[in-house]
Amino acid sequence: MATLRFQALQSASGRKPVIVEELDRKSKIFGSNVFNDKAMRLFLTGEAYKAVQSAVQHGTKIDRKIAEHIAMGMKEWALSKNVTHYTHWFQPLTGTTAEKHDAFFETSMDGSDPVEKFGGTQLVQQEPDASSFPNGGIRNTFEARGYTAWDPTSPAFIFGTTLCIPTVFVSYTGEALDNKTPLLRALTAIDAAATDVAKYFDKNVKKITPTLGWEQEYFLVDAALASSRPDLMATGRTLLGHTSAKGQQLDDHYFGSIPTRVLQYMRDLENQCMLLGIPVKTRHNEVAPNQFELAPIFEETNLAVDHNSLLMDVMQKVAERHDFKVLFHEKPFKGVNGSGKHNNWSLATDTGINLLSPGKTPMSNLQFLTFFINTIKAVHDNEELVRASIASASNDHRLGANEAPPAIISVFIGQQLTKVLEELEGVSKGKLSPEEKTDLKLNVVGKIPDLLLDNTDRNRTSPFAFTGNKFEFRAVGSTANCAVSMTTLNTIVAKQLKDFKAEVDALIEKKDMKKDDAIFNVLREYIKGTKAILFEGDGYSEAWEKEAKKRGLSNHKTTPEALKAKVSKKAIALFEEMGVMNHIEVESRYEIELEEYTKKIQIEGRVLGDIARNHVVPTAIKYQNTLIDNVRGLKEIFGKDFEVIAKEQIKMIKDISGHIEGINSKIDAMIEARKKANLLTDAEKQAAAYCNEVKPFFEEIRYHSDKLELLVDDEMWTLTKYRELLFTK
C-alpha cells in the first residue's frame, strides 16, 4: 500500500483549478453582507439610526428602548438574507475569534407559534459559557462568568447563514477578557491626546482616528500534502524536513505570475471579502515559493483589526473549497522566508488630514513633524514594550533568528527626514528670532517635499519604518491578532502626545514663549534624546547587533525574555495612566502569554518526538535492513573481498545507526527536560525552561532526521518532502 505521502502526492498532482464565477462588479457587491450605513438607513427608524451613528462617532451610549428598535431592524435585514442564527463574535485572549450561535427561531412549549425572535437584550449582551477561555486568573473558572457586549463601532455582518455581532468580552468585575476592549480604550486615549495636540495647528479638529492597513502574508499548501504532515497539522510548521535543492535562491517567485489554482482561490477569497466589506486591494506572490500576500485599503483601526481576524477565518474556509491549507505560521519552512503582517499605521483628523503626511505649507509641515517626532520618541522610550507586543513562540523564528526584521526595535526614517531632524536640532534654545523663524519656515520645514522619495526602505530590514505618509510596523507576526500591537502603539503614542502637550504648554505659560517657539524647543530636545532608536542600515547584520548594544537598545531574542517588559513598573503605570488596562489586566495577559508559549513549545516537542521516533527511525531501519541484505549478498558472492566492494554500503549502515542513535538519545534527553519543566509551577520559570532547556533539542533532533532524509531511499520516506510541499502548484 502506498504511504500517506504518495497518496497525497497523487491527489495533489491531479488537481484542477476550481473555477470561480465572477460576481457583480466589486463596487456593487461591496459590503452587501454588512449592516452598514446603507442597510441601516433602510432597516432602522430615524431615531435608531441616529443613535448608532452617534455611538460610532462620539461613543455615546445606546439606551435599552433604542437597542430594541435596532435589534428589530437588524433581524429584519438578516432574515431578508436568509440568515437563521446570530452570534456574538469576539476575540478572546487565544488570539483568534470565538462565536456561539443561537437560532432566531423560537416556539412555545407545545410547538405552536413558531417565530423568529431577536431583541435588544440579545443584541446588547450575551453570556457565552466562557469557562474555558484563558483568563490568567482574573476569573475563577468555577465562576465562569464573563459576558460579551455589543461594540457598535464595528458593524454586524453575515457570514454563511449567521448574523455576527462584534462584541467585547469582559468579566462581571469589569476586567477585559479579550483583545478588543484594551484596543478600544487605547483608541480613546490617543484620540484625546492627539486631538489636543492637533488643536495647536487647527482649532477645528475634534476627533483623531488611528488608521491601520495590515498586509497579510501566508503560504498555501495543497490540503492533501498538508494532511500528510502531522507536524504541519498540529503545530502549523514543519519540525523536520531537509531544505529543497531549489528554494528561493533564484528570486523567481516574488511578484511572479500567480499560479492558476492559487489565482482562483484568491478570486474566491476576494469575492467573500467584498461581501463582508473587507476592502482587499492587493494580491501578489511573496519571496518564498508558495508564499503570497494580501492587503486591504486601510481603515479605522478597530474595524481593520476585526477585518483581519475575520479574514484569517475566511481564508481558511475558502481554502477548503480549493483543496488548499493556509499556513499563517511565521516560519512554516526552514531555509525559506517566513511570513509577517506589516501594520501600516497613521493618524487621521476628522478634517480629513493624515497627520503623518507632509503637507504643502510650513505650518502643516510643522504639524507633520510634531506627530512624526513624537512617534519616534514614543518608540524610543518604550522600545522594550514594543518588542514585547509582538512576542510569540512562532514569531521568535523571524525576529532575531536570521530573518528580517531583527529582535532589536529601531526606526527607519530615510535620508531626507534625517537631514530635516539634523537641522531642527540646531534650533536656538528659548525664544526664536524672527530671522531664524523665517529661515526655518523657508528652508527647513517648508522644504519637506510632499513626496518622500527615499521612504520605501528597499532593504526591508527595519522593524518600524516611516514609509512616506505612515509608519510601517513590520515586526508583527503573520499569526498575530493586530489588536495587541495596535493597543501598545496607540497607547505609547497617546502618552507621549499627552506629555508633549504638557511640556509645550509649560513653556508657553511659564517662559512666555510663542506656541511655535515652544514646539520647536520641545522637538529639539526630543531629537537630541532619541537618536539611539534611529537606524538606516542593514538590520540583519552582526555589526548592527553590536552597535545596538552600545546604544543601549534591547535585543530580546526569545518570547519569555521579551515579555518581561509587559509587566515592568513603567509599563503597568503607563497602561493605568492611559486608562487602557489596570494592573490585573496587564498581569493576567502576561501570564496567559507565558502559558501559551509553554504550551506551544510543549506541543512541538511532543509532535517532534512522535514523528522522529515513529516515522523517521522505523523508515531508516527499514532502509538499513535492505543495505544489510545487500551487504550479505555481496559477501556471498565475493567472499573475503566483499569489504572492499561493499565499502559504501557499510559506511551508510554505520551512518544510519549513528543518526538513529542521535535521534533517540536526544529525544530521551528532551523528554527528561520536559518532565523537569512540567514540575515548575511558576509560569515565568516554566516558559524559560521550555525555551532554554527543551527547545534547543529541536534543532539537534532535526539535524539527524534531515541527514537521514538524504540517506534513505526516497520511495520509503514517509514524510512529504519540502520540494513537494513548496513546489506543488
From residue 61, alpha-carbon distances to 16, 53, 580 in Å are 53, 11, 19
CB of 416 to ligand ADP, least distance (A): 17
In the stretch 276-295, what mask flags binding to ligand ADP with x, by CB under 6 A? -------------------x
Helix extents (H) in 125-220: 180-198
CB of 460 to Mg ion, least distance (A): 8
> Could you tell me the end-to-end alpha-carbon distance of the chain, in angstroms, rounded to an integer?
25
**Please, which residues bridge with residue 293 across strands?**
217, 284
Query: Which of these ranges, 338-346, 505-513, 534-542, 687-695, lies near ligand ADP under the rule CB under 6 A?
Result: 338-346
Task: Please identify which residue in 297, 453, 573, 603 interacts with ligand ADP, judged by CB under 6 A.
Answer: 297
Task: Please identify which residue in 354, 602, 678, 718 interacts with ligand ADP, judged by CB under 6 A.
Answer: 354
Nearby residues of 136 by Cβ (< 8 Å), 6 or more positions away: 93, 587, 588, 589, 590, 591, 592, 595
Task: Give yes or no for a contact between 603 and 230, defined as CB atoms under 8 angstroms apart.
Answer: no
CB of 213 to ligand ADP, least distance (A): 3
Q: Which does 296 bind (CB under 5 to 8 A by kind): ligand ADP, Mg ion, none?
A: ligand ADP
Pairing type for strands 464-466 and 411-412 reads parallel
Question: What cell numbers appear for 511 in the block?
Answer: 517662559
C-alpha–C-alpha distance, residues 339 and 395, integer Å = 9
Task: Please identify which residue in 125, 131, 469, 568 interacts with ligand ADP, judged by CB under 6 A.
Answer: 469
C-alpha–C-alpha distance, residues 279 and 30, integer Å = 8
Cβ nearer to ligand ADP, comparing 244 with 469: 469
Nearest to 318 by CA among 265, 258, 276, 262: 265
CB of 108 to ligand ADP, least distance (A): 51
CB of 341 to ligand ADP, least distance (A): 11
| CA 386 to the chain's CA centroid | 13
Pairing type for strands 162-171 and 85-90 reads parallel
Residue type, 472: E
Cβ nearer to ligand ADP, comparing 178 with 215: 215
Nearby residues of 415 by Cβ (< 8 Å), 6 or more positions away: 454, 536
C-alpha–C-alpha distance, residues 141 and 133, integer Å = 9
Query: Which of these ranges, 126-134, 183-191, 390-398, 469-477, lies near ligand ADP under the rule CB under 6 A?
Result: 469-477
Q: How many residues bind ligand ADP (CB under 6 A)?
A: 15
Does 600 participate in binding Mg ion (rule CB under 5 A)?
no
Length of the chain (residues): 729
Q: Which does 338 bind (CB under 5 to 8 A by kind): Mg ion, ligand ADP, none?
A: none
Cis peptide before 405 (omega within 30 of 0): yes
In the stretch 297-336, what mask flags binding to Mg ion with x, by CB under 5 A? ----------------------------------------
Query: Which of these ranges, 205-213, 442-450, 616-624, 702-710, lies near ligand ADP under the rule CB under 6 A?
Result: 205-213
Neighbours of 629 (CB within 10 A): 11
In the stretch 470-509, what mask flags binding to ligand ADP with x, by CB under 6 A? x-x-------------------------------------
Q: How many residues bind Mg ion (CB under 5 A)?
A: 1
Cβ nearer to ligand ADP, comparing 226 with 348: 348
Coil, strand or helix: which one is 153?
Answer: coil
CB of 472 to Mg ion, least distance (A): 5
Cβ nearer to ligand ADP, comparing 255 with 638: 255
Task: Please identify which residue in 52, 83, 212, 518 interacts with ligand ADP, judged by CB under 6 A.
Answer: 212
Does 346 participate in binding ligand ADP (rule CB under 6 A)?
yes
C-alpha–C-alpha distance, residues 693 and 696, integer Å = 6
Q: Which does 290 bind (CB under 5 to 8 A by kind): Mg ion, ligand ADP, none?
A: none
Q: Which does 211 bind (CB under 5 to 8 A by kind): Mg ion, ligand ADP, none?
A: ligand ADP
Backbone angles phi, psi at 257, to 5 degrees: -70, 145
- HSE-up of 522 (CA within 13 Å, CB side)? 28
Does 412 participate in binding ligand ADP (rule CB under 6 A)?
no
Cβ nearer to Mg ion, comparing 166 with 340: 340
CB of 563 to ligand ADP, least distance (A): 27
Q: Which does 323 bind (CB under 5 to 8 A by kind): Mg ion, ligand ADP, none?
A: none
In the stretch 129-158, what mask flags binding to ligand ADP with x, by CB under 6 A? ------------------------------
Neighbours of 548 (CB within 10 A): 22
Coil, strand or helix: which one is 271?
Answer: helix
Task: Please identify which residue in 298, 466, 473, 535 interacts with ligand ADP, judged by CB under 6 A.
Answer: 298
Does 215 participate in binding ligand ADP (rule CB under 6 A)?
yes
CB of 345 to ligand ADP, least distance (A): 6
Cβ nearer to Mg ion, comparing 152 with 477: 477
User: DSSP code of 692?
Assistant: I
Nearby residues of 475 by Cβ (< 8 Å), 6 or more positions away: 340, 387, 390, 395, 398, 399, 405, 409, 463, 464
Task: Give yes or no for a contact between 366 and 519, defined as CB atoms under 8 angstroms apart.
Answer: yes
C-alpha–C-alpha distance, residues 190 and 184, integer Å = 10
C-alpha–C-alpha distance, residues 649 and 625, integer Å = 11
Question: What cell numbers appear for 104 in the block?
Answer: 432566531
CB of 295 to Mg ion, least distance (A): 7
Backbone angles phi, psi at 524, to 5 degrees: -55, -45
Question: Going along 160-244, which residue ranges are E strands?
Answer: 162-171, 208-222
Query: Which of these ranges, 158-166, 390-398, 465-473, 687-695, lies near ligand ADP under the rule CB under 6 A?
Result: 465-473
Cβ nearer to ligand ADP, comparing 210 with 236: 210
Cβ nearer to ligand ADP, comparing 345 with 372: 345
Does 344 participate in binding ligand ADP (rule CB under 6 A)?
yes
Cβ nearer to Mg ion, comparing 218 with 590: 218
Task: Please identify which residue in 122, 154, 211, 367 interacts with ligand ADP, judged by CB under 6 A.
Answer: 211
Cβ nearer to ligand ADP, comparing 122 with 375: 375
User: DSSP code of 615?
Assistant: I
Task: Give yes or no for a contact between 669 and 693, defined as CB atoms under 8 angstroms apart.
Answer: no
C-alpha–C-alpha distance, residues 699 and 608, integer Å = 10
Q: Which residue is nearest to Mg ion (CB)?
A: 342
Task: Please identify which residue in 229, 307, 325, 342 interacts with Mg ion, judged by CB under 5 A.
Answer: 342
Report which secondary-structure segment, H or E, holds 79: helix 64-79
Does 702 participate in binding Mg ion (rule CB under 5 A)?
no
Q: Which residues bind to Mg ion, rule: CB under 5 A?
A: 342
Q: Which residues bind to ligand ADP, rule: CB under 6 A?
A: 211-213, 215, 295-298, 344-346, 354, 469-470, 472
